[in-house]
Structure 1
């Protein structure tokens, strides 16, 4: 299949958050302008929003707005370590088959992060289609960890293509989390992906949010606490919470069907 051509436009990084509390200050740092109160950037969380299977139109801003609360939460929690967060603005809405436009945009964004901040560790945090893009882009040298929230994978019976690759995950910390009642992205497909990933990379785990749907609205506080714990533990020197340690250490299927307990991370919430 020929790759789908896009209108002439570029992917963009949303304004940085963290490293002193103001996005403008962090932006001044990488531009060489200083910025009162701006601290050094020692790590980056790159958030990859939702999208769709197809579509070359520019994405709706709603997708970026949906991940903003998590970006703010991560920036606040990681401020002592010097964490900056960015939300990637894709060139287009869709994955578009073998073109894999969001994964290409993620690769561009990782190069841009290195250009701005230098050799700092990056955690890719993706939701839905963005989670698939994060997993695809994990082979970039800057990536230390990947958090895939409700990842979308195409139904193999409907897409005659090779399974999504997993070898690029070797050497990375990888966590997937999925609601068991998700009707938009199949949790069984994310489990099968995690199974294959665990075979090549032992530092892979997966959490299940029982009775929750795609948006994980019922347990959003727990999911955000899990994301915070995983990101800070994978990029910096903080210890993982015990459930995350257990999930990473447990063999399949236990470590890939770890239930996310109600109230997880209550002491971490702000």
Structure 2
């Protein structure tokens, strides 16, 4: 007898990642969007969720006094598929944030396929900023280019390693170039010699992410490299190098 495929679960928000000393009220939310596959109807792996938790905890620690809550989004399936499923799940997650917390700003943060989902899902009214790390973008087989008009009014930061062998850094540059034409608040940092996982300069990437998120969600002043990147015209604001001393400069 043929076995029936189990129905896919609904998208879910993981438990809020908070930390000791956190402010009593939530004033801003980060939605972490994991990596995935191009085509797959299989249920998401537990590893994809667990892999985001160290990053979630680190962000929660840096934003504890601001009232930052971090949630990892659990997709319905592990593939992008024809319907841009992770982007729809990101939109649902932003709706859920509004339902739980009220009218507070949301930053979508994603890696790989999650980076594409963050960029695609940024049109939600609650989203005021997007951080896409090594986004997995189409190579040109699709009839229309990745949309960017809905990014207007959001702060957009893209981070990509120059030695990424899984996702093409040139594609994220081209997307940022198109986005910058209608949205000045778009910048992109290149992490020289780093790969898809951005492990080689992890501390600098973490410092960059924290600074961007706190500045975007809580109107804090950006560190000078981020402020300069937003102010610079293309291509200067789209090929900003991530300096090895960036993390140290934030602690001064």
- TM-score of the superposition, structure 1-length normalised? 0.88
CA offset digits 1:40-73 (Å, max 9, x no partner): 1100001001001010101112112222111111
What corresponds to 1:48 in structure 2? 33
Task: For residue 267 of structure 1, report the CA deviation from its aligned partner.
Answer: 5.7
Provide the C-alpha distance between the structure 1 equivalents of 2:87 and 2:61, rounded to a whole number of angstroms. Answer: 27
Q: Secondary structure at the match of 1:45?
A: strand
Q: Secondary structure at the match of 2:63?
A: helix
Provide the C-alpha distance between the structure 2 equivalents of 1:171 and 1:210, rounded to a whole number of angstroms. Answer: 29
CA offset digits 1:178-203 (Å, max 9, x no partner): 00000000000000000000011000
Task: For residue 154 of structure 1, report the CA deviation from its aligned partner.
Answer: 1.4
- Structure 1 unaligned regions, length at least 5: 1-5, 23-36
What corresponds to 1:79 in structure 2? 64
Q: Are positions 1:197 and 2:179 aligned together? A: yes
Choose from 67, 70, 94 the match for 2:55: 70
What corresponds to 1:30 in structure 2? none
Q: Are positions 1:184 and 2:166 aligned together? A: yes
Provide the C-alpha distance between the structure 2 equivalents of 1:110 and 1:83, rounded to a whole number of angstroms. Answer: 15
What corresponds to 2:11 in structure 1? 11
Q: Secondary structure at the match of 1:183?
A: coil
CA offset digits 1:232-262 (Å, max 9, x no partner): 0001131100000110000111100000000
Q: Secondary structure at the match of 1:265?
A: helix
What corresponds to 2:248 in structure 1? 266
Task: For residue 96 of structure 1, report the CA deviation from its aligned partner.
Answer: 0.6
Provide the C-alpha distance between the structure 2 equivalents of 1:128 and 1:58, rounded to a whole number of angstroms. Answer: 18
What corresponds to 1:221 in structure 2? 203
Q: Are positions 1:148 and 2:147 aligned together? A: no
What corresponds to 1:21 in structure 2? 20
Task: For residue 268 of structure 1, report the CA deviation from its aligned partner.
Answer: 4.9
Provide the C-alpha distance between the structure 2 equivalents of 1:64 and 1:9, rounded to a whole number of angstroms. Answer: 15
Alignment of 1:118-267 (within 5 A): 118-156=102-140, 159-266=141-248
Provide the C-alpha distance between the structure 2 equivalents of 1:8 and 1:255, rounded to a whole number of angstroms. Answer: 41
Task: For residue 17 of structure 1, report the CA deviation from its aligned partner.
Answer: 1.5
What corresponds to 1:33 in structure 2? none
What corresponds to 2:3 in structure 1? none
What corresponds to 1:93 in structure 2? 78
Provide the C-alpha distance between the structure 2 equivalents of 1:248 and 1:160, rounded to a whole number of angstroms. Answer: 30
Task: For residue 38 of structure 1, report the CA deviation from its aligned partner.
Answer: 6.7
C-alpha spacing 1:262/1:38, structure 2 compared with 1 (3 Å): closer
CA offset digits 1:65-112 (Å, max 9, x no partner): 222111111111111110000000101010012x10000100110000
Provide the C-alpha distance between the structure 1 equivalents of 2:7 and 2:237, rounded to a whole number of angstroms. Answer: 43
- Structure 2 unaligned regions, length at least 5: 1-5
Higher mean alpha-carbon deviation, 259-268 vs 52-61, is at: 259-268
